[in-house]
Amino acid sequence: MRSFSIPTHYRSELIGRLKAFRKTQDPKKKDLSPTLLDLGPVRFLFARHFGFCYGVENAIEISYKALDENPGKRIFLLSQMIHNPEVNADLESHGLRFIQDTHGQMLMDWSEITKDDIVIIPAFGTTIETEERLKAMGIDPLKHNTTCPFVEKVWKRSAQLGEKEHTVVIHGKATHEETRATFSRTAKGAPAVILKDMAEAQLLGRIILNEEPTARFNEVFGKRCTPHFDPVRHFDRIGVVNQTTMLATETQAIADHLKQVMVKKYGKAELKAHFADTRDTLCYATNDNQDATNELLKAEADLALVVGGYNSSNTSHLVELLEQRFPTYFINGEKEILNAKEIEHFNYPLHKLERTMDWLPSKRPLTIILTSGASCPDTLLDRVMLKVLGMVEEVKDPMEVVDGLIR
């Protein structure tokens, strides 16, 4: 896989060396066991996979290249390039402005943008409607397009399903940029509906089997389906794709459930005519991070710190997995660690910040899981780790310990 040119301040001397060491040991990524960094009174467990993925590094490279190659020009980002406040703030510090927020609400008027300006499409992609608007303004939306190749893969698969007269079921969050983009492109050639979780998939299954009135479809999914959607006619053939940052296991479970619904309705012998296998659209990076996090669940640890943007979908799913077993704190970075007694963290289900007292146990040795989402720079994990180490006495020098590991 190709390497990208990204600013050095996103690279980590410490954790980057650990990652390189594991990659040398396990180039085919068969070993998902976590990496232990034993610093004496504190031990850190790192997931086998975490941090920037291919799509994120590609987006960062394109964005900073646009800055370097266009001095003096006005440069806009359609919305947050990725869901990480550190990266977005850094881009803003270079003079970039956001046109929309993450829900598609305008932060400025389209009339402020001219054909001489540069507009960068974020890693999540954008809708066909927005692309057409940019073209009408004289701006080429593909010139600085950072859309993740794995998101584009989902779009292509959705188009193929439409060509074969399938309805596309999109597992995602309806307000998320990526899901909005996928829905827009799917709707061009196929009926589509967005569902958020297994509970909605089960409801959809009952509607398909006529176990629920069709009125329930309009009540629950009416604002998340293509115009003139007919639940009686449009569920004859279906395929499931996802927002790439959702839990891959949940997407697969939803697809498996709807597959069984179609078996029940049409019979096993007719399944291929009514259900498309779409597991090839699941994002490898999301899978790797989630599989590595599942491996962490087998470890013994006292708590988990998950670092990333609070609006990051893939990061929130790592939190959901880890909090099944450990006290888990979802933080933006080291600033949320106020001191050894108090930490500020994000409660994702309630979408609010909370403060917890006595979060750092006094027991020694203390084992802390430290990981991050696909949009988080490794340097943030360095800073979180060093902040914690500054609160504990007689810890070993982490760089010396890393040196000892990789010799």
CA 119 to chain centre: 22
Residue found by looking up tokens 């990333």 in the block: 308
Q: How many whole angstroms separate alpha carbon 106 and alpha carbon 39?
A: 48
Q: Can 178 be counted among the known catalytic residues?
A: yes
What's phi and psi for 202, nearest 5 deg? -65, -40
What 3-state DSSP class applies to 193? strand
Of 274, 324, 259, the C-alpha closest to 298 is 324
Q: How many whole angstroms separate alpha carbon 10 and alpha carbon 378?
A: 7
DSSP string, 20-80: HHHHHH-TT----PPEEEE-SSEEEEE-SS-S--HHHHHHHHHHHHHHHH-TTS-EEESS-
Length of the chain: 407
178, 200, 320, 336: the active-site residue:
178
Active-site residues, by number, are 178
